[in-house]
Amino acid sequence: MNILITNDDGIYADGIIELAKSISKIANVYVVAPESQRSATGHAITIHSPIMVHKIDMGENIKSYAISGTPADCVKVGIEGLFKDINIDLVLSGINNGSNLGTDVIYSGTVSAALEGFILNKPSIAISYDEVNVKREIYKDASKYVVNLVENIKDKLDLLNDCILNVNIPNTKIKGSKITKLGQRNYDNAMVEKINPFGQKYYWIGGKLMELDQDEDSDIACVKDGYISITPINIEMTNLRKFELLKDIKMI
């Protein structure tokens, strides 16, 4: 198999290094990742400036490039640029420093990179770990589950023809894995207002996660309960329920 690996924490993040090493034992690995931290960039792509590329040494058997773009750019540059002569079988994005659950996915560079793989007709999986700034060994252990998933799904990649998988690995003793739905996440007091040394007002987005009731089959409940969450998601965003109700809305 030829597997393209990317992330949003940047090419020097422990999560992508351990994932690439583990996956390189079962597949040819091609890495294209942002040259620096690009989390929360959503599905941004770079169209108003060039995207620079730099070859990086990530060890034997791993072809690796850092680029000046976003996570979604990495997948575009990998599939349509740097590795356009390779038949990429699967795109992996991660392992992310922190979970991407529920409403988070809309902001997540990790998930957006996998969705870009999907848009380019490649089976794609996003992987996140439900704790931030953990030791490198943790990602090594977590990568074993990703290897299991790849081995398990490699002969059934058609399952990913109308969705990606969004995987979140809990930071506890793991009981198993479950197929889940996106839950609801909201942040309280998200906007912090301050004054800089020059007397100018600025804002910094922060905020504390609110405890909301979750459906039992949601990704959030699943991870909390000690199971790896696997959520099939896609970009069919039309709300069909509203068609009939909206029919009297006119603009002319």
Q: What residues from 112 to 151 belong to the interface with its own copies (CB under 8 A)?
A: 112, 115, 119, 145-146, 148-149
**CA distance to 97, 145, 200, 227, per residue, from 217 (Å):** 24, 21, 46, 11
Q: Quick check: helix, strand or coil at residue 213?
A: coil
Q: Would you say the C-alpha torsion 223, 37, 94, 235 has a positive or negative sign? A: positive
Q: What residues from 163 to 192 belong to the interface with its own copies (CB under 8 A)?
A: 163, 165, 167, 174, 176-177, 179, 181-182, 186, 190-191
Q: How far is the CB of 90 from its own copies (least distance, A)?
A: 14
**Closest by Cα among 100, 120, 122 to 8:** 100
Nearer CB in complex with its own copies: 62/118 = 118
**Of 12, 35, 46, 56, the one binding its own copies by CB under 8 A:** 46
Give the CB-side neighbour count of residue 107, counting CA atoms within 13 A: 13
**Of 26, 132, 159, 209, the one binding its own copies by CB under 8 A:** 159
**Of 28, 35, 81, 141, the one binding its own copies by CB under 8 A:** 81
Region from 12-20, 90-98, 129-137, 227-235 binding its own copies, contact rule CB under 8 A: 227-235
> CB–CB of 36/10 below 8 Å?
yes
**CA distance to 61, 154, 208, 211, 225, per residue, from 19 (Å):** 13, 17, 29, 31, 24
**Of 1, 56, 138, 153, the one binding its own copies by CB under 8 A:** 153
Is 212 a binding residue for its own copies by CB under 8 A? The answer is: no
